[in-house]
């Protein structure tokens, strides 16, 4: 009995730490991430929404910080039509909608090549933590300029490919990618 009790004590702090991370940073893993059949459609559908230059004047949850019409429209679509959504930020990479942040001024389209490369690498690691390396998923990217280009490069590195069944809208600002199996 004592060995079993010790095992529980070793596992418990890890569970508490994971619960604390979820409480602080929001959910980092999709609810349904396992498929019953290999050819089944992904059960986790994520939408990445580009931030905007128009922001409120004070710190706020990231979902409320950005004030452009485009962001608000994309946010409504993301909240209603996807199992999860995140914000693509030039300063922070990927933000949970519930993350508290201060207003900032950062535009990747006018940044240096080094800044863009570092942002793309950061994004790749954040997406890896969010989506894993092998879980089937589909991601819609509602962005333009380098935000779209860098995000697609990061997703491609994680095994995602453009979904030929999902058209890009008239402005070329929405693209859907899908990963159905390990990109090995």
Q: Domain segments of the chain: what residues?
A: 1-30, 32-179
In whole angstroms, give the CA distance from residue 55 to residue 18: 32
78 — phi, psi (to 5°)? -65, -45
Are 151 and 88 spatial neighbours (Cβ–Cβ below 8 Å)?
yes
Q: Is beta strand 100-101 parallel, antiparallel or unpaired with respect to 93-95?
A: unpaired
In whole angstroms, give the CA distance from residue 44 to residue 179: 11
Tens of pLDDT, residues 73-131:
999 989 988 889 999 999 999 999 999 999 999 988 899 999 999 999 999 999 999 98
In whole angstroms, give the CA distance from residue 137 to residue 128: 12
pTM reported for the whole predicted model: 0.71
Q: Nearest Cα to 90, choosing from 116, 66, 58?
A: 116
């Amino acid at each position: 009995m004592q060995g079993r009790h010790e095992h529980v004590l070793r596992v418990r702090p890890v569970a508490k730490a994971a619960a604390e991370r979820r409480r602080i940073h929001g959910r980092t893993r999709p609810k349904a991430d396992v498929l019953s059949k290999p050819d089944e459609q992904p059960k986790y559908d994520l939408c990445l929404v580009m931030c905007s230059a128009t922001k409120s004047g004070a710190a706020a949850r990231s979902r409320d910080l950005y004030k452009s019409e485009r962001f608000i429209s994309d946010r409504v679509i993301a909240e209603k039509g996807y199992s999860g959504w995140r914000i693509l930020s030039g300063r922070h990479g990927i933000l949970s909608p519930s993350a508290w942040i201060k207003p900032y001024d950062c535009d990747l389209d006018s940044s240096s090549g080094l800044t863009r490369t570092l942002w793309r690498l950061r994004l790749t690691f954040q997406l890896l933590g969010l989506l894993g390396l092998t879980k089937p998923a589909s991601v819609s990217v509602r962005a333009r300029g380098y935000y779209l280009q860098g995000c697609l490069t990061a997703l491609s590195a994680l095994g995602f490919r453009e979904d030929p069944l999902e058209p890009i809208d008239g402005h070329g600002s929405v693209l859907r990618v899908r990963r159905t199996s390990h990109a090995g």
